[in-house]
Structure 1
Amino acid sequence: MEGKDAELAKKRKINDMEHERTEDIGEANEENGEDEMNFSGSEEMRLGIARLHEKVEAYNQLVSEMLESGKSLFNKLSQDYEERVLMIHKEQIEKWQEEVKELRMIDSTNEEMSDRLNNVKCLLQTVHISQ
């Protein structure tokens, strides 16, 4: 239960971070647009600013790809971990079931031997009484 709660909290946090990042990008783009409208500098300055905007966009894209890659990696690791834990659980249950089977077989053998010993005891008593 705690694992699911922690996972949900983690997903909410990631979603909140992505939402904030998207809002920040939108605000930055709005500010850039306003700056460009209010800025009446030289062509060289505008080109420099445009290159910086391209770098910002490329960096934002890189970060977005890294986040997606990280999420898919963690999802795969999570699935692998879950499969491994389930496999270990299954193996342990099978081991214990085999032990239960062996104990039942031993118990059955013991019961059979106890019955035989009891029969021998009765026979010996009968022989002893008849003598």
Structure 2
Amino acid sequence: MESEGTEVSRKRMKPAVEEERGSVRDEAALQIAEKEETEIGVMGSEEMELNITHIFERIERFTNLVSELLESGRTMFKELSNEFEERLIAIHKEEMEKWQEEIKELRLLDASNEEAVAILQNARYLFQNSHLDS
């Protein structure tokens, strides 16, 4: 029973969708037709056509220039991005090496301090024993 209701609503919606698609097609066809009529109906003098041709050439050159600028901009940003990434990685590596060296020096200092503490404790022990013997 529910499936029949669903089918009915689908059938009701389908013509609306087709009408919408049809109106879009009709509108596009109308615009194309108007453009063709405008181009054909407004045929001017040769001088006017030449001026229009020059404008189209300028449009083409400008479009090519914009395209080239976009491409060079993309290339530049890629190069800058790569350089930035490489430099950032190099800075990180340098800092890590510095901190590793710092850790190494601290461990050497700690070992030296431990050795000095051991020597001082031995000296104290010997000093206390020599006082007790006297």
Give 2:74's match in structure 1, choosing from 65, 71, 74. Answer: 71
Alignment of 1:7-18 (within 5 A): none
Give 2:100's match in structure 1, choosing from 81, 97, 101. Answer: 97
Q: Distance in 1 between matches of 2:68 and 2:45?
A: 35
Letter in structure 1 aligned against 2:130: V
1:80 and 2:83 correspond:
yes
Q: Distance in 2 between matches of 1:98 and 1:77?
A: 31
Greater relative contact order (Cα 8 A, min sep 6): structure 1 or 2? 1
1:39 and 2:42 correspond:
yes
Unaligned runs of 5+ in 1: 1-30
1:62 and 2:65 correspond:
yes
Deviates more, 1:69-78 or 1:103-112: 69-78
Quote the residue 2:28 is aligned against.
none
Shift of 1:32: 7.7
Larger Rg: 2
- How many aligned residue pairs are there? 101
Cα distance change on mapping 1:59 and 1:130 into 2, 3 Å: same
Deviation >4 Å, runs of 4+: 31-35
- TM-score (ref. length: structure 2): 0.67
Compute the RMSD of aligned alpha carbons: 2.0
Unaligned runs of 5+ in 2: 1-33
**Partner SS for 2:125:** helix
Shift of 1:44: 2.4
Shift of 1:37: 2.8
- TM-score (ref. length: structure 1): 0.68
